[in-house]
Structure 1
């Protein structure tokens, strides 16, 4: 397989641990285990009560029932537990979905710029990939008219990232429904990477899982939930796709392990406390950034107006 280097990862692999100040993290201030154990108000007793009963064997192959129940609560519609599969972060979720969905010669449309694997993996698999551009003059949102021009009768997959990495744009329900209508017209799947849950107006955020049966939604506890060290993500899809993904999982990961499953379940059980903590961090930093922009930073009013903080 001839696949391109992910530029940002290549750079981070060199500098991430040696930098004096790291202001480029994609995670909101990763929590220490000490912080994590304070989330339940019982010094982590609810976490250890479960963990102390578990043998450190392989664990639940596709995620424990408790984990799946917490993931299902993130969506508006009722999600069948069999349609939720635990993965090695969102990276593993995206890889699993793309490896199963994309074949040589397929036509794939991908938002651009976006997380590089969402277009490079399909290209490496032999697909014809066309970019659906996020444009500054459109507030860094994609144009539905452009998508209508890109889509073809043989379009297999549309890849989106909501909220956008790296631009931060959040697709509202109306836009998502328009994407669904276009995808339905040609029978295309939609892969929606939703790892960056917005902290502003979170209650108005809609998942593609709630809008389209042929959607594959990927997510994890790495970004908005501040625990990338657990390496736990998931896919939500229809049952037919989930069964296909199960085959791929057996070849690549087996399971994520007892400890990581228990930790991810605990984080999701206490997600409101995590979100409250992270909103305080992000909104405080937005104020600091605004002050910086108002001084001799070289960032003018036009640039400040375009700045979006989404994680």
Structure 2
């Protein structure tokens, strides 16, 4: 029997997200309704879904409209990507699972950017691969070392996994870094899987910056694979639509073969909503709403960190929807699990504890999902400030 470890962050959210008043742990841009989605579109009379369509399995690899819209977005900054090089999935979590399932197995070796979403390294391990964690540190603004990466590559390395923009820190792997990463992987033809679910929420970085990271698909590496989702940057977690894309038809065929053993296809209803959201008439308004929300809320979060500078340390995020903040008491990191449990029980505010959900190295850290509704963030942080003033003395220190 396969030994499946507890998926710590999802177990934490399962326990608390419906037992809190201010959820500042969620990683999605504040979710929207279909009515709100329509209001953001330039074609407000267009049907979101054709209700006359028979609800069959649909197009197995994804609807033509959805994949064409995605192909257009991926082709904007590079060579044209055919829609046939994209496969839809029920969320990015299955997209990432399928890539691991298709590409690695017992005896293989995988390198994974760390810390990150647990499934990115746990699933390859469940499949029998040996996994090396490629660590990032706040001392380098959460940028992992390429020198370290070079020492991790083995003859049996079959996959390098990155997360860009990065959960939980909100950092990025800049363009020059990605170029050097490809240069290390290319001589060995190692596929690079880029989880890009927080793309394109670049709230603190200009597209004109030399560091601005393009999608890995735009960088000319034939063994690049990317995954994406409607949940985070597009504020539509409820439709459960993700995708896998690659310029390598061979890689896509391997993923497609693996997919036959899972969900067969994605709900036509879900794909219809996703296609509407990604259409040229809608996507720009939707992303403008979400990027502006991120900018507004990050300003609130930054002021809160400054106000509570004796209790908080961070590297200010530059992209995505999350921040990784270290909570201190008398200059020492707190037990983040004890802190988060006392906080949610006492105030109703939900954070994610770093040590439990991202690794033992991250004692005292909490992940804050700050692109929620602005008033939820504002009110929640006010409650946390009160907790820090009155209750922090009851929180245990990290051991």
TM-score by shorter chain over 0.5: yes
Q: Who is 2:5 aligned against?
A: 4
Q: Who is 2:20 aligned against?
A: 19
Q: Who is 1:210 aligned against?
A: 218
1:286 and 2:303 are equivalent in the alignment: no
Report the count of equivalent residues. 306
Q: Who is 2:278 aligned against?
A: 268
Range moving further from structure 2, 199-208 or 22-31: 199-208
Asked if the contact 1:154–1:186 (Cα under 8 Å) also holds between the matched residues in 2, the reply is no
Asked if the contact 2:171–2:318 (Cα under 8 Å) also holds between the matched residues in 1, the reply is no
1:142 and 2:144 are equivalent in the alignment: yes
SS in 1 for 2:5: coil
Asked if the contact 1:60–1:257 (Cα under 8 Å) also holds between the matched residues in 2, the reply is no
SS in 2 for 1:183: helix
SS in 2 for 1:47: coil
1:130 and 2:139 are equivalent in the alignment: no
Cα distance in structure 1, aligned partners of 2:254 and 2:109:
20
Cα distance in structure 2, aligned partners of 1:98 and 1:17:
31
- Deviations 1:250-308 (CA, angstroms, capped at 9, x unpaired): 111111121111100011112211111112211111221222223346445xx25x221
Superposition pairs of residues 1-311 of structure 1, within 5 angstroms: 1-43=2-44, 45-48=45-48, 50-75=49-74, 76-197=78-199, 198-200=201-203, 201=205, 203=207, 204-211=212-219, 212-237=221-246, 238-269=248-279, 270-296=282-308, 298-299=310-311, 303=313, 306-310=315-319, 311=321
Asked if the contact 1:232–1:256 (Cα under 8 Å) also holds between the matched residues in 2, the reply is yes
Q: Who is 2:345 aligned against?
A: none
Q: CA deviation at 1:34?
A: 1.9
Asked if the contact 2:185–2:191 (Cα under 8 Å) also holds between the matched residues in 1, the reply is yes
Over 3 Å counting, the alpha-carbon distance change for 1:102 and 1:142 in structure 2 is same
SS in 1 for 2:266: coil
Cα distance in structure 2, aligned partners of 1:296 and 1:78:
48
Q: CA deviation at 1:151?
A: 1.1
TM-score when scaled to structure 1?
Answer: 0.93
Over 3 Å counting, the alpha-carbon distance change for 1:296 and 1:106 in structure 2 is closer
Asked if the contact 1:163–1:169 (Cα under 8 Å) also holds between the matched residues in 2, the reply is yes
- Deviations 1:118-172 (CA, angstroms, capped at 9, x unpaired): 1111111111111111112111001111111111232111011011111121111
Asked if the contact 2:164–2:196 (Cα under 8 Å) also holds between the matched residues in 1, the reply is yes
Cα distance in structure 1, aligned partners of 2:134 and 2:306:
34
Cα distance in structure 1, aligned partners of 2:32 and 2:206:
21
SS in 1 for 2:255: helix
Q: CA deviation at 1:96?
A: 0.5
Asked if the contact 1:199–1:275 (Cα under 8 Å) also holds between the matched residues in 2, the reply is no
- Deviations 1:180-211 (CA, angstroms, capped at 9, x unpaired): 11111222111110001132336333111122
